[in-house]
């Protein structure tokens, strides 16, 4: 049933049944907490955060029906009924013959790339998420990002900024197809701003994969949000059901990796799925080493049930309309207030352009970190720096500016209301009006890899 068009307000398509209290600190208390955390937002106690936009992963609110499904969880070691419920729900949308459950997305990546990548291989993707890149590189293979040029420009408006650059993919395959075990497409393109990929582009990637005899896999964490963007923006999709669009996406691929912590609205879980029997056998053998028996992977029976129910809910059109609209609501308000953001709004997050907002802070003084700290101090909002702190360190220990210095405000699913977002808009606008006074930072302590999780900082000047 369509929503009546008579009213403009897109309401949250749920009412609240169980609440979690928020703890209010003063600005002074937050300043003490962030100093004690070495100005690293990952080191805060989450109770000291008012609005937590660090990630949309595993942080969504489960529904009444998901909690009820948890009670159906059957914890039999092998062949649990919960496994069959999960399998059916996955194959309803992604009819791959082999489905291999894992405890989260990166476990699926680790198993797949162990089975098929290795030294001398190269894996193209529109943009690898950081764990995907790390798992490709861990096997000795090379990870190459081939998103269209618009996907790298925060200000460029394009309906499908996550699209693969087909010309560059073709050039790579023409040269090195024998070294490419798989082509990946990430929907939506998280590292590029949560931007969607079009069906037309996926069909183009499929054609190239067919021509060069290379399999195509989806990193499908945010498949439902991507399908909704297709319905909104792609000619020919406007009258299709979301599950039907999803099944076409699946039909174009040979397999997928998945984190159930995103669109399926579970707090934990993931899977790997594919058509190829020999690959599946290799993957299942690795699964048993690290995750568990193939009918539960790294999951409890109750998790399998929660994921199955979440999969049914996340393709609901009322949910998706609200979900994508509420992200756009935040983005549009910030845009109107003159705060530079990655445009257009992505599916799961709004990305603030810290480099544009803090031109007095050079990239090596970490403008994204400066902005993220200020948002916490001022309003208790926790976002995530995606910039030179995360990507600026070379293997030899020297530093260079990342391509962009962003702060991601990721929106957990069904967790915050419009008034929470109105508060976020006020805080970000307030911080932006004082951006010229914000100090840069230096790193005073850091580990050799993935430094953003544990580095400690000090303000400059
Ligand atoms: N692929 C994409 C596109 C992701 O965004 C993530 C996780 C993963 C794979 C890995 O899945 O966390 O279940 O192991 N993204 C989270 C984020 C962590 O905050 O964007 P996982």
**How many A from CA of 221 to the centre of ligand 1?**
7
Q: Is the CB of 431 under 6 A from ligand 1?
A: no
DSSP class of residue 437 equals: G
Res 180: pLDDT: 98
Q: Residue 396: CB partners within 8 Å, gap ≥ 6?
A: none
Tokens coding 403: 């391509």
Q: Atom of ligand 1 at shortest distance to CA of 188?
A: 3
Q: Is the CB of 261 under 6 A from ligand 1?
A: yes
**How many A from CA of 306 to the centre of ligand 1?**
19
pLDDT confidence tier of residue 394, bands split at 50, 70 and 90? confident
Burial of 6 (0-12, 13-18, 19+ CB in 10 A): exposed
Average the pLDDT over 416-442 and give the result: 97
Q: Atom of ligand 1 at shortest distance to CA of 186?
A: 3
Q: What percentage of residues in the chain have a pLDDT greater than 70?
A: 99
pLDDT confidence tier of residue 81, bands split at 50, 70 and 90? very high
Residue 380 scores a pLDDT above 80: yes
Q: What is the DSSP string of 316-366?
A: -HHHHHHHHHHHHHHHHHHHHTT--B-SS--SSEEEEEHHHH-TTS-GGG-
Residue 392 scores a pLDDT above 80: yes
Q: Is the CB of 259 under 6 A from ligand 1?
A: yes
Which residue's CA is the nearest one to ligand 1's atom 20? 55
Burial of 334 (0-12, 13-18, 19+ CB in 10 A): buried
Of the given ranges (187-196, 200-209, 303-312), which has the lowest mean pLDDT?
Answer: 187-196
**How many A from CA of 174 to the centre of ligand 1?**
30
Of the given ranges (187-196, 218-227, 257-266, 354-363), which has the lowest mean pLDDT?
Answer: 187-196
Q: What percentage of residues in the chain have a pLDDT greater than 90?
A: 91
**How many A from CA of 105 to the centre of ligand 1?**
6
pLDDT confidence tier of residue 403, bands split at 50, 70 and 90? confident
Which residue's CA is the nearest one to ligand 1's atom 1? 129
Of the given ranges (42-56, 93-107, 182-196), which has the lowest mean pLDDT?
Answer: 182-196
- Considering only CA atoms, which of 176, 247, 254 is closest in space to residue 215? 254
Answer for the pair 432, 426: CB distance below 8 angstroms, yes or no: no
Q: Atom of ligand 1 at shortest distance to CA of 259?
A: 13
Answer for the pair 205, 214: CB distance below 8 angstroms, yes or no: no
Which residue's CA is the nearest one to ligand 1's atom 19? 55
DSSP class of residue 315 equals: T
**How many A from CA of 89 to the centre of ligand 1?**
21
Res 449: pLDDT: 77
Average the pLDDT over 248-260 and give the result: 98
Q: Is the CB of 129 under 6 A from ligand 1?
A: yes
CA distance 402 to 329: 28
Res 3: pLDDT: 53
List, in sequence order, the alpha helices (H) in 121-183: 130-138, 166-176
Res 9: pLDDT: 85
Q: Between residues 173 and 392, which one has the greater pLDDT?
A: 173
Phi, psi angle pair for 376, to nearest 5°: -70, -50
Residue 2 scores a pLDDT above 80: no
pLDDT confidence tier of residue 446, bands split at 50, 70 and 90? very high
Q: Is the CB of 52 under 6 A from ligand 1?
A: no
**How many A from CA of 303 to the centre of ligand 1?**
18
List, in sequence order, the alpha helices (H) in 411-456: 418-433
Q: Atom of ligand 1 at shortest distance to CA of 269?
A: 13
User: Nearest 10 degrees: CA dihedral of 423, 428, 429, 433?
Assistant: 140
Phi, psi angle pair for 235, to nearest 5°: -55, 135
Residue 103: CB atoms within 10 Å:
21
CA distance 437 to 168: 42
Average pLDDT of the chain? 96
CA distance 126 to 186: 6
Give the pairing of strands 381-382 and 51-52. Answer: parallel
Q: Is the CB of 102 under 6 A from ligand 1?
A: no
């Amino acid at each position: 049933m369509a929503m009546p068009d008579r009213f403009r307000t897109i309401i949250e398509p749920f009412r609240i049944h169980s609440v979690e209290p928020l703890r209010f600190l003063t600005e002074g208390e937050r300043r003490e907490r962030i100093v004690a955390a070495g100005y690293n937002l990952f080191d805060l106690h989450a109770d000291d955060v008012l609005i937590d936009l660090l990630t949309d992963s595993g942080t969504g609110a489960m529904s009444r029906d998901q909690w009820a499904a948890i009670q159906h969880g059957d914890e039999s070691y092998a062949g649990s009924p919960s496994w069959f419920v999960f399998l059916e729900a996955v194959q309803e949308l992604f009819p791959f013959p082999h489905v291999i459950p894992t405890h989260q997305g990166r476990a699926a990546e680790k198993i797949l790339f162990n089975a098929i990548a290795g030294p001398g291989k190269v894996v193209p993707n529109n943009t690898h998420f950081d764990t995907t890149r790390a798992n490709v590189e861990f096997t000795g293979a090379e990870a190459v990002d081939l998103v269209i040029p618009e996907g790298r420009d925060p200000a460029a408006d394009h309906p499908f900024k996550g699209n693969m650059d087909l010309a560059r993919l073709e050039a790579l395959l023409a040269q090195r197809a024998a070294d490419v075990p798989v082509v990946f497409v990430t929907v939506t393109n998280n590292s590029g701003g949560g931007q969607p990929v079009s069906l037309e582009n996926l069909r183009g990637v499929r054609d190239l994969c067919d021509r060069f005899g290379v399999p195509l896999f989806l990193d499908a964490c945010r498949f439902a949000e991507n399908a909704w963007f297709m319905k909104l923006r792609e000619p020919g999709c406007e009258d299709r059901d979301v599950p039907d669009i999803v099944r076409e996406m699946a039909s174009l691929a040979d397999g997928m990796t998945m984190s159930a912590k995103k669109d399926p609205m579970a707090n934990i879980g993931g899977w790997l799925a594919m058509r190829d029997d020999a690959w599946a056998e290799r993957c299942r053998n690795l699964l048993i080493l690290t995750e568990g028996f193939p009918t539960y992977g790294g999951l409890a029976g109750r998790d399998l049930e929660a994921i199955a129910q979440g999969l049914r809910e996340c393709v609901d059109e009322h949910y998706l309309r609200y979900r994508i609209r509420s992200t756009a609501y935040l983005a549009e308000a910030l845009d109107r207030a003159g705060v530079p953001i990655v445009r257009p709004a992505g599916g799961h997050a709004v990305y603030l352009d810290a480099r544009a907002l803090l031109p007095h802070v050079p990239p090596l003084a970490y403008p994204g970190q400066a902005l993220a700290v200020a948002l916490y101090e001022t309003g208790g909002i926790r976002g995530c720096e995606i910039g030179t702190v995360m990507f600026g360190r070379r293997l030899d220990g020297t530093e260079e500016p990342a391509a962009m210095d962003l702060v991601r405000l990721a929106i957990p699913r069904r967790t915050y209301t419009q008034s929470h977002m109105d508060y976020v808009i006020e805080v970000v606008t307030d911080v932006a009006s004082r951006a010229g006074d914000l100090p840069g930072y230096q790193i005073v302590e850091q580990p050799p890899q993935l430094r953003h999780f544990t580095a400690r900082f000090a303000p400059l000047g």
